[in-house]
Amino acid sequence: MKKTTNDNLKSKYLLAGLSVFCVALILISFLDSSAVAPVKQVSGFLITPVQKGINGFGSWLSGLTDNFEDAETLRRENKELSARVDTLTEENSQLIQDREELRRLRELFDLDEQYDEYEKVGARVIAKESGNWFQLFTIDKGSNDGIQPDMNVISGGGLVGIVTETGPNWATVRSIIDDNSNVSAMVSTTSDRCVIAGDLRLIDEGSLNLLKLTDAENKVHVGDKVVTSYISEKFLPGILIGYISELENDANNLTKSGYITPVVDFRHLQEVLVILELKEYSADDLTAAPGGSGVTAEPGQTESGQTEAEQTEQSESETVEPQ
């Protein structure tokens, strides 16, 4: 109990002392400035560091608040910039795709101009067989657009293949790289005839087989252009196939064989042109075509290299049609 009373007395004495001190300060403030100067100096000496500390702490708090606001602003701006970068990246990708599509369409336009004697319809590739190559694929145009089986398909500067089957709004195309494809061809500079045979193993190396070339006068050279021949049963004449990349004499010393590099990129086909005209083939083509002598199918064989019996059997079993 005594301890409590003593604490109360101490508090009262402290309060009374502070009150007296404050009154004294008030009275001193009314005195002449010269009289209070020492007091001001003492108070300034004591109070100024405290004010500086308080001001510094306040400035630090203000700077910290500003930093938080700046960080939030930076996060917001960074988010906006990230969204803008994503948008620009998407737009850039679309522009690249549009530019590539424009390039392909220009190639098709140039190809259309190159073979302007034929009526054509453009189509997009919508499906293909498994694998890296477009040896058998489907396009988005069909009989409703005038497309029929055996019509020629071109793209990328030259011959792609031939239509094998049609529906109202689709058609199947077998390209010349397919293992079952054989095309009667000729060297454009000499009209010497040959056969271009598809081989999926060779196309991995960017080549196609060139077989049974008749070059009695040795005028055919590497780099010469190979086109479809006039004696082809299903392919229109003069369509570019590729360029000779290798050539050597056969064992019989009567014909030559080698390889050609096709002009069409059979790994990245997207758009094609279908020529809306069928080849009108007759036996007279054998003598009417330039170059007199040439390679024809063996007796009893079609242009695809099958015998008539094999072709009939294949047709009945609905397998790949001969070209």
* pLDDT per position as a tens digit, 261-305: 999 999 989 999 999 999 986 655 555 444 443 333 433 344 544
Give the residue, 131 or 35, on which the prediction is more confident: 131
Task: Measure the CA–CA gap between 120 and 166, rounded to whole angstroms.
Answer: 16
pTM value is: 0.62
**Residue 203 CB neighbour total at 10 angstroms:** 21
CB-count burial class (<10 Å; 0-12, 13-18, 19+) for 31: exposed
For CA atoms 225, 230, 234, 239, the dihedral sign is positive
pLDDT in tens, 84-117: 887 878 777 777 766 776 677 677 667 778 888 9
Q: For residue 41, name the pLDDT band (cuts at 50, 70, 90).
A: low
Q: For residue 313, name the pLDDT band (cuts at 50, 70, 90).
A: very low
Instruction: Please say whether the beta carbons of 276 and 146 come within 8 A.
Output: yes
pLDDT in tens, 181-219: 999 999 999 999 999 999 999 998 999 999 999 998 999
Average pLDDT over residues 138-161: 95
Cα 159 to chain center, whole Å? 23
pLDDT of residue 145: 96
pLDDT of residue 225: 96
pLDDT in tens, 57-78: 667 766 667 677 777 788 888 8
Average pLDDT over residues 18-34: 67
pLDDT of residue 111: 74
Q: For residue 310, name the pLDDT band (cuts at 50, 70, 90).
A: very low
pLDDT of residue 305: 42
The amino acid that residue 256 corresponds to is: K
Give the residue, 210 or 45, on which the prediction is more confident: 210
Give the residue, 230 or 41, on which the prediction is more confident: 230
